[in-house]
Amino acid sequence: MITITPKDDILRDGVNIGVIRNGIAYTSEPLAGVIKGQVKKAAGNPELTFEVVENDPPQHTPGADSSVVVTANGKEGRLCDVAAPSTLIPIVAEVASEPARRSEYGDKDPIWQKWFVATFGAEAFTAKWPARKLPQ
């Protein structure tokens, strides 16, 4: 089973096989077509591309690709691709702790999805998973 962690690590049956950065899945070994399809589905991104790297994958570069770092109370948050840095306002509200995702749901866990929307907004949810409906 393929799951994507909140830090965009790609897990296959609980073992890390790669990471997603800026719409590219970086792995240390080539993946079979079936596995690539499962990764795309788990990430909610049918346009995801794959690249094999020998060393560590590149890190997100804020501003280089219109990505921004979402922060709260001085703590680094997740990256999202929904706003340019100039359009952000400081976040001053306390962010609720991320709930654990139940393994049978992965990133489709309704409780986790509600937390994601409450933390990062509906725009971030729609940008990350364009084919999914917002959680109720």
- Rounded mean pLDDT, 71-96: 46
Is 91 part of a structural domain of the chain?
Answer: yes
Last residue of a domain, one of 10, 26, 52: 52
Q: Which amino acid is at 9?
A: D
Look at residue 15 in the predicted model and tell me its pLDDT.
86
- pLDDT bin (cut points 50, 70, 90) of residue 50 is very high
88 and 39 in one domain?
Answer: no
Is 94 part of a structural domain of the chain?
Answer: yes
Is 120 part of a structural domain of the chain?
Answer: yes
123 and 82 in one domain?
Answer: yes
Look at residue 36 in the predicted model and tell me its pLDDT.
92
Range among 15-19, 76-80, 88-92 rated most confident: 15-19
Q: Say which DSSP state 109 is in.
A: -
Is 63 part of a structural domain of the chain?
Answer: no
pTM exceeds 0.85 = no
Is 72 part of a structural domain of the chain?
Answer: yes
Per the structure, the complete domain to which residue 38 belongs is given by 2-52
CB contact at 8 A, 88 and 65: no
30 and 72 in one domain?
Answer: no
Tell me how many helices (H) and strands (E) the chain has. Answer: 3, 7
Residue that wins the pLDDT comparison between 53 and 70:
53
Beta strands in the chain (DSSP E): 2-4, 9-12, 15-21, 24-27, 49-52, 68-72, 75-80
Task: Give the whole-angstrom CA distance, residue 31 versus residue 36.
Answer: 6
